[in-house]
Amino acid sequence: MRIGVPREVKNNENRVGLGAAGVHELVARGHDVVVEKGAGVGSRVSDEDYRTAGATVLDSADELWALAEMIIKVKEPLPEEYGRLRRGQILFTYLHLAADQQLTGALLDSGTTAIAYETVQRPDRSLPLLAPMSAIAGRLAAQVGAYHLMAPLGGAGVLMGGVPGTTEANVLVIGGGVVGEQAAMMAHGLHANVTVMDLDVARLGQIATMHHGGILTRYSTALDLAEEIRRADVVVGSVLIPGKRAPKLVTDEMVAEMKPGSVLVDVAIDQGGCFENSRPTTHDDPTFRVHDAVYYCVANMPGSVPVTATAALNNATLPYILKIAGAGWQEALRADESLAKGLHTHAGRLTHAGTGEAHGLEVTRAESLLD
């Protein structure tokens, strides 16, 4: 199979879909890999590194998309890339289609076979291709929350962990999954007072036990959530329903009662965000204000640490890339039920229920296409 690795075009997205080590593995198995010039620079992978690994480096994105049978990306195609989508080509990347009706339409119109990293799901409900980026985003959430508490950035002027004789910041993490646990762990490491809220009591018990009671946990109800938000200095939204839009848990009324200069970090923004007032922002312009609170809603947080993030992502995606390249997409998905859950579109048909529900579109069972 001929695999294409384009340069990412999203604002400050310095990750790359495949590093030199992944290229080497594919080439060793008889596949051809074409890489767009400069695709890996942000992740410190040079064009020469790719050539040494066996790839062909192309100057033109149009030529790369036209040649490749499978495109390996990090982020979803942007409007400037829609014209390159085509029938018969496999696209393997993060998609988050439930929050993006325009992209959903473009994929259906093009006939592309689109497989989303974020909905590949094992029988134990874990998300192996989302987990490494969730861990990074969670850790970053605590850092950007601490950073934007500083007064010059519009924050309350509170040091996350305080110093002896002063009070520490109160950090509320909504959602106890991978993002939430990692955010709570980092905030706790910065000596903040940390509370995690979730609907899964067993998961709350795991977090409390793992951190020896240093992180507080609380069952999430609307009333208790409003109470915790009123006392919070930083709120991290990390609620995820795989393949569906995130529920809006933090209302405008709740934010209106927060302390001046509080910070809200919406890590669920790729799926539409879990705060009522959230809207996607960029690394160039990451925040906006609502009432007296600072919102941080950057949709590609791990792109700010591309060396770490690219390595972590490639470690997770490469085994699946090798399966698809080796057997073709239909046989690979037939043989791996976890990977089959990642299929979203094929030949103009939508195959993911969450996306269909979000946009009111007819859904075709993926199994019927695999048969």
Q: Any idea which residues carry the catalytic annotation?
A: 96, 270
Question: In the 8-state DSSP scheme, what is residue 281?
Answer: B
- Residue 86 CA to residue 109 CA, distance in Å, equals 9
3-state DSSP assignment of residue 371: coil
Residues 6+ positions from 127 with CB-CB distance below 8 Å: 118, 119, 120, 121, 134, 178, 242
Residues 6+ positions from 243 with CB-CB distance below 8 Å: 97, 98, 116, 118, 119, 352, 353, 354, 355
- Residue 28 CA to residue 202 CA, distance in Å, equals 45
Q: Which helix (H) or strand (E) holds 207?
A: helix 201-210
- Residue 147 CA to residue 134 CA, distance in Å, equals 20
Q: Mind giving me the DSSP string for 164-195? A: TTSPPPEEEEE--SHHHHHHHHHHHHTT-EEE
- Residue 118 CA to residue 130 CA, distance in Å, equals 5
CA separation (Å) from 61 to 67, 93, 179?
10, 17, 33
